Structures are given as structure tokens and as C-alpha cells.
Structure 1
Amino acid sequence: MATRQQPAATAAGRRRKSKRAGAEGIAHVRATFNNTTITITEKNGAVISWGSAGQSGFKGSRKGTPFAAQVAAERAARAAIDMGMRSVTVLIKGPGAGRESAVRALGAAGFQVMAIKDVTPI
């Protein structure tokens, strides 16, 4: 009886996607007082890359700083640009200190920022 080989999996047990992203996408910036997360998706919502201040090596109260948000945005943007994305619409949510610096970092990383919308619930 022949055994079937399983596809290569990452440490988490899921298959790693190596597809090309579309040229346009959405950058979701969630800035809280304690952390800033950036998720870059395609127009249909499929996640291309993400980054957070905690993932970038910051701990404790330093995660809530504008510099930590900048580093997290650069990491997420670099991964998305490598997959072929060129322009983003930025959706900002939350009152944190990293709001503006994350948007500036996305532009500086090479994205063409098409629009910036504040979607913070009131």
C-alpha cells in the first residue's frame, strides 16, 4: 500500500501561500493606546501581510509609541510590496499615538496612498 505525502506546512500547520497580490489594496491601521497593528488586504479582504509593534520587537509601553507604529508599518508594507501591491487605501481606527506615523511610513515605504479614511466608531 503506497503512502501519500502531505504538502509542506509551516510551523503553525497551515500551508504558506506564495501568490501574487493585486496592485491595489486596503491598509487597516488599528491604533490603540497600547499597541498599533497594520493589516494589508486585497480589495476582497484577503490578508496579504500584517505587522504590529509587538511583532516588531517592542515590549511594554514602548508598543504604543509613534516610532513603534512606523516600524510595524514598514515591515507590513515591505512584505506586501514584495508580493506586487503598489497602492493602498488607508482605513484608520482608534485613538492611539501611532495613527499618523503609520500612514506616513506606508507612503515612505513605496505605496501610493489613494485615500485616508477614519473609521473610528464614536
Structure 2
Amino acid sequence: MIKTSKIILPTEKTGTIYIQSTNNNTILTLVDKNGLVKAWASGGTVGLRNSRKSTVHAAELAAEQIATKAHALGISTVSIYMKGLGIGKQKAVQAFQNSKLKILELIERTPLAHNGCRASRKRRV
């Protein structure tokens, strides 16, 4: 009788990246498929303080840091969920596209009011 060996194909590790972008900061969280937080980064953790945390440069640095941590953990494909109206979302997604991570889906989860509570006044600059 001939023995046949099974060929086990390596499965890609998948993860989820949550981007929360506010007017003052951009926070990125890397979560595995079980929902456990594996890494997180923000404008403050990359070494920027005060108003520099709200820039697109801070979001890009935080995204690069998350991408390197994901690569170190063996995560190769990610789904990205974005939330908030800050300016750092697009630059963070561009940083993930430039890294070696494969993006499965981009999902916008910004809560938008369908009337309801009165919005705060607009800022006069």
C-alpha cells in the first residue's frame, strides 16, 4: 500500500485594524481574528505631542508602526474599519497600502446623525 502525505497549505493570518480619527489625534488598533488586541499606536505613542498629534504625519507614522508590528506577528492580510471625521484616516490607509499588508476590505463606520440631538456650534476662526 502506498502512503500519501498530506500537503498542508499555509493559511494567511488575518487581522483587523481599527482607525479612530478625531480632530486631536488618530488612534490605530490591531486586533486578531479572535478579537484580542495585539498592538495599538497613536500620534502620542510615536513621539509627537500636543497639536502635532492631530497632523496627517502623525497618522502616517502610527500606521507604519502598526504595519511593522503586524508583519512581526505574522499577519499578512487585514480588514480596515475607519471611524471619525479627522484628517488622519486617508494618510493612514495610504501607509498600509504602501506596506506589505494586503487589504481585504475598507469599511467606513463613522456614525452620522439622522437628525436627533442638536449639533454643536461651528467654530469661528
TM over 0.5, shorter chain: yes
Superimposed CA distance per residue, residues 39-90 of structure 1 (whole angstroms, 9 cap, x where no aligned partner): 0111221111111111001111111111110000111110111010001000
Any unmatched runs of 5+ in structure 1?
1-21
Paired residues, what number?
A: 101
For 1:1-122, list aligned pairs within 5 A: 23-122=13-112
The structure 1 segments of at least 4 consecutive aligned residues displaced by more than 3 Å after TM superposition are none
Taking the aligned partners of 2:39 and 2:96, their CA distance within structure 1 comes to 13
Give the fraction of aligned pairs with identical amino acids, expressed as a percent.
Answer: 36
- Structure with max Cα Rg: 2
Taking the aligned partners of 2:35 and 2:63, their CA distance within structure 1 comes to 18
Q: TM-score, normalised by structure 2?
A: 0.77
